[in-house]
Structure 1
């Protein structure tokens, strides 16, 4: 939009200098050749050549415009603005081209060389600078010097110049100012409803700039004034955004309705309005709005999200069918969403087929591959799942975020298979990508604990607590691991006491505390705590713990009933099988 081209950082305004083309340099060089001192080339000794009577003169480097321009470009290529500025100062002195003086001025301002900037500006003006460009540069220099009065005078000249880009240049000057508070004051003083031009984008840009500078009241004032003056979809939409930021959702909805009335097919406005409706809890209204009118990938995705949030299986199925019947190009563009919709309806085979169609250049390519690997594993195609993840680990070697996810997914699948050594290795690879990541340390610690490698588990949990002192989940994990291994019970008690104080109603922490009481020989207290945890959440491991404590109390029938419930929850519970072997040697 207008703001994207009008408001840029001070560094970015010299990007074009780094892309000076050879023809442009040649043009600048030729424009100055007439005034360049030349020296004759020495004639070679010996017989006279046919062209010996001609004298070819070439300038030395210090007096060669082309040489200075090329040197300046090379310096810009190395991001050395100071050296580039020096070369452009020399080129300016040799050239009669105002473009060279303009660039010399811009570079001098960028490196805060006020004296050089003043010389370049004077030279540029003498060579016929356009008033708007000159005012912009002099305003930049004045702001660099902290001279607000002169900056204001030049900015007034700029905005009164009638130049079609005047207000865009005005925004650039303010964004590039070192003193943003001063720039904000100038914005409010000069970009008023009385002075702004008859162009919607200029008003919106100034309002947006006010918001960037933290002058919200000014941004709202300009947005409201723009609505009153133009009454078009763009001004209604921007004013609605201001209302929303102020918490006035009702006001924002009214303005978005007006914007949509102006451009009912505008996908961006429909999405914004649907977002407001959904935040207000009107999911049906949001879905109905999006179903009407032209569709795009974002609208399809939001419709799916709304249906999933409402657990509306009928709407999900209808959207899936609608997309399946769409044109081939639409299906291809939405292949990832089609895969997700198929998964939601438990059509795993179809989901895999859709994910296969997601292109390598699609922003969802990684996610499609990851979902495919998980689906393959759930279908029992374990080797294929790990093979796909291994390929992803190679493909995304230079993309840390994706590489970490690929290793983590591999580890979690190995955990499901109870292949603890491979799971630990995969978690370790992920930790090489993001060292000391709390989530990975936690998961690897749990993996070590399940594998019976208690020392390694304790090390990971202790390391995690150094990174996140007092973390409740880490404290619970370490406390439980120590209690389960029947070692350092006082430390386990300290950790679990702190975890219970932080989350007194957490069933997982209650389970850990009850198991600690069992290890400490407090069977009645252990049974009471574990029964509470079991009633709060029917988790297989909690049930196994409660059953074992009841068994040790001699309440074997009660214990057997709990074990039967656990067997229904998880017929393949390894902890239940191990416990029963101990209790029935």
Structure 2
């Protein structure tokens, strides 16, 4: 169902939602012997409306005979012995014998707790018959009717509740949609909503309730008309603005929603909710700079706004602004450690990319929930990079391997462990065994090409990359890898190979124009073509986006040739600081005679 954003829950709605959960709250093993209130909330829940004590004149003059006492005991003993059906039936019989509203209330609790909802409805009705003014009884009955999808029978109970609590009418209509779930009869929900809201034509919240109900049966034009009326009654009313933007998602372009929200935000400049939705729309439209600007504005007003910290951090990460991403995401985890477990995964990525492997290990080890499998995979590589080969292999054995895809991924991880341990032959052999089991697997072929290169078999490395691209001709990763390989293994005289390299890299950069690894490859190609000035511009752009040791080494070599040896040495030093074991750096420094 189409549901608008949730705002603060009204007391009436809270009580109804609590009543929905009675089956989970009513204990079958330790129920008290005295009747207790059927809608008694948890200690931290919204308190039940006052004034629901059963008046003395509503209590029957019923003596407590030995027979009744025995039946009470049977009902409670059945609960204690985990015989819920017997307990519900026994308490139901007691209602029939006593007509006591206290017994009816207790019987309703027991029937709900045991899942006997038909009996619960009968008991709740007898509770209402005995005490028509009982708010709690109406709340429980209403929840039972909604759960049973008997909405046509719910009207009198809802009317009674609204009449008893007129201060709750507006907030209840604003959030009425929260009572329905995916199994609710949408047409019945619309009928009930229209009947309940008819007496309140000048109430914006009533119009809003109709708009939601109409949208849920696909009548979007009528829904928008109700929202127009709500905005006439309450100009620039935030809930109506936000819900209209949500409905626009079904029939408009992302830019149309952005334009609408921008206009609304100018009229309601202090609305954090509007800014939050606008920022998310920018993200959906891949307008990341605009999204980050909105999040920044939110943080100026509320520096500890969790959504803005998380949203801006993830957007900054997408934009490769690692400083901002790290600062915002770290702050979010500090403010709400229990709600931000997934952010540790991204913080681990940032630390890993900056070659802070002990820190990356700590972040990945702290990930739980849905991101834990992905974090564990990255943790394998980090442990290997830290020299803990045994730990990496031990963790790898715990990873799921129930599908061919998972088993191939684990083979790739195993090879990466041996790569970090500089046991290239072992990694190559792991991939070779994998290709025997999964012949023609493109991922294994690609990885084996890298190991062939590490082993000095450049002809096989190139052949495997060509084999990979034959299987995945549109792969940016493959185009970049073969393009770089051809450039790196060619001289100015190898015009055909350099031309092929340029063709591959141009195809890749068109698809991902801001990818720093492709920019690096293009820069290196220009250098090999004898165009150091063009190479410098491309490599500086790549290094600004990703200050990786390999990119820094390439840029340093270009600057060295251009005569700026001091700047080149600074880049070599920075690369060595990040990755002291970099083979590309070591080879370049030795060849150039640098330090």
User: In structure 2, how many angstroms separate the alpha carbons of the residues matched to 1:365 and 1:37?
Assistant: 59
Match of 2:65 among 33, 38, 61: 38
Q: Deviations over 1:459-504 (max 9, x none)?
A: xx9xxxxxxxxxxx79x99xxxxxxxxxxxxxxxxxxxxxxxxxxx
2:289 aligned residue: 284
TM-superposed CA distance for 1:195, in Å, is 2.8
TM-superposed CA distance for 1:255, in Å, is 3.8
The alignment covers a number of residue pairs equal to 430
User: In structure 2, how many angstroms separate the alpha carbons of the residues matched to 1:189 and 1:217?
Assistant: 16
- Tell me if the contact between 2:364 and 2:379 (Cα under 8 Å) persists in the aligned partners: no
Q: Residues 83 and 126 of structure 1: is their aligned pair in 2 closer, same or farther, counting only changes over 3 Å?
A: same
- Tell me if the contact between 1:187 and 1:210 (Cα under 8 Å) persists in the aligned partners: no
Match of 2:92 among 89, 92, 98: 89
2:433 aligned residue: 451
Q: Residues 401 and 418 of structure 1: is their aligned pair in 2 closer, same or farther, counting only changes over 3 Å?
A: closer
User: In structure 1, how many angstroms separate the alpha carbons of the residues matched to 2:403 and 2:15?
Assistant: 38
User: In structure 2, how many angstroms separate the alpha carbons of the residues matched to 1:145 and 1:413?
Assistant: 51
TM-superposed CA distance for 1:197, in Å, is 8.9
- Tell me if the contact between 1:132 and 1:158 (Cα under 8 Å) persists in the aligned partners: no
1:412 aligned residue: 412
Q: Residues 276 and 235 of structure 1: is their aligned pair in 2 closer, same or farther, counting only changes over 3 Å?
A: same
Q: Residues 255 and 203 of structure 1: is their aligned pair in 2 closer, same or farther, counting only changes over 3 Å?
A: farther
- The question of 1:373 aligning with 2:355 is answered no
RCO (CA 8 Å, sep 6+): is it higher in 1 or 2? 2
Q: Is the partner of 1:288 in helix, strand or coil?
A: helix
TM-superposed CA distance for 1:357, in Å, is 5.3
User: In structure 1, how many angstroms separate the alpha carbons of the residues matched to 2:396 and 2:467?
Assistant: 35
Match of 2:260 among 241, 254, 258: 254
User: In structure 1, how many angstroms separate the alpha carbons of the residues matched to 2:230 and 2:80?
Assistant: 43
Q: Is the partner of 2:270 in helix, strand or coil?
A: coil
Any gaps of 5 or more consecutive residues in structure 1? 40-57, 420-445, 462-472, 478-505, 514-529, 545-556, 573-585
Q: Is the partner of 2:26 in helix, strand or coil?
A: helix
Any gaps of 5 or more consecutive residues in structure 2? 1-6, 39-53, 420-427, 446-464, 487-492, 502-523, 526-582, 584-595
Match of 2:191 among 186, 192, 211: 186
- Tell me if the contact between 1:274 and 1:287 (Cα under 8 Å) persists in the aligned partners: yes
- The question of 1:226 aligning with 2:230 is answered yes
TM-superposed CA distance for 1:303, in Å, is 2.9
2:514 aligned residue: none
TM-superposed CA distance for 1:225, in Å, is 3.6
Q: Deviations over 1:529-578 (max 9, x none)?
A: x9x99xx947669x99xxxxxxxxxxxx99x989x99xx99xx9xxxxxx
Q: Is the partner of 1:90 in helix, strand or coil?
A: helix
TM-superposed CA distance for 1:206, in Å, is 6.0
Q: Residues 128 and 335 of structure 1: is their aligned pair in 2 closer, same or farther, counting only changes over 3 Å?
A: closer
1:241 aligned residue: 246
TM-superposed CA distance for 1:15, in Å, is 2.8
TM-superposed CA distance for 1:389, in Å, is 6.0
Q: Residues 410 and 452 of structure 1: is their aligned pair in 2 closer, same or farther, counting only changes over 3 Å?
A: closer
TM-align CA RMSD: 6.2
TM-score normalised according to structure 1 size: 0.53
- Tell me if the contact between 1:140 and 1:151 (Cα under 8 Å) persists in the aligned partners: no
Q: Residues 402 and 197 of structure 1: is their aligned pair in 2 closer, same or farther, counting only changes over 3 Å?
A: farther
Q: Deviations over 1:371-411 (max 9, x none)?
A: 3432343x3x45x15515635866x8xxx799999987653
1:303 aligned residue: 312
1:51 aligned residue: none
User: In structure 2, how many angstroms separate the alpha carbons of the residues matched to 1:372 and 1:353?
Assistant: 11
1:270 aligned residue: 275
1:121 aligned residue: 125
User: In structure 1, how many angstroms separate the alpha carbons of the residues matched to 2:468 and 2:246?
Assistant: 44
TM-superposed CA distance for 1:348, in Å, is 1.0
131-140 vs 409-418, greater mean Cα deviation: 131-140
TM-superposed CA distance for 1:353, in Å, is 1.6
- Tell me if the contact between 1:239 and 1:255 (Cα under 8 Å) persists in the aligned partners: no
- Tell me if the contact between 1:36 and 1:94 (Cα under 8 Å) persists in the aligned partners: no
1:488 aligned residue: none
2:27 aligned residue: 18
Q: Is the partner of 2:249 in helix, strand or coil?
A: helix
Q: Residues 281 and 263 of structure 1: is their aligned pair in 2 closer, same or farther, counting only changes over 3 Å?
A: same
- Tell me if the contact between 2:383 and 2:389 (Cα under 8 Å) persists in the aligned partners: yes
User: In structure 2, how many angstroms separate the alpha carbons of the residues matched to 1:278 and 1:227?
Assistant: 27
- The question of 1:353 aligning with 2:365 is answered no
1:137 aligned residue: 141
- Tell me if the contact between 1:210 and 1:219 (Cα under 8 Å) persists in the aligned partners: yes
- The question of 1:61 aligning with 2:49 is answered no
User: In structure 1, how many angstroms separate the alpha carbons of the residues matched to 2:471 and 2:181?
Assistant: 58
TM-score normalised according to structure 2 size: 0.52
- Tell me if the contact between 2:210 and 2:226 (Cα under 8 Å) persists in the aligned partners: yes
User: In structure 1, how many angstroms separate the alpha carbons of the residues matched to 2:308 and 2:96?
Assistant: 58
- Tell me if the contact between 2:415 and 2:431 (Cα under 8 Å) persists in the aligned partners: no
User: In structure 2, how many angstroms separate the alpha carbons of the residues matched to 1:209 and 1:70?
Assistant: 45
1:465 aligned residue: none
User: In structure 2, how many angstroms separate the alpha carbons of the residues matched to 1:11 and 1:376?
Assistant: 48
User: In structure 1, how many angstroms separate the alpha carbons of the residues matched to 2:143 and 2:225?
Assistant: 25
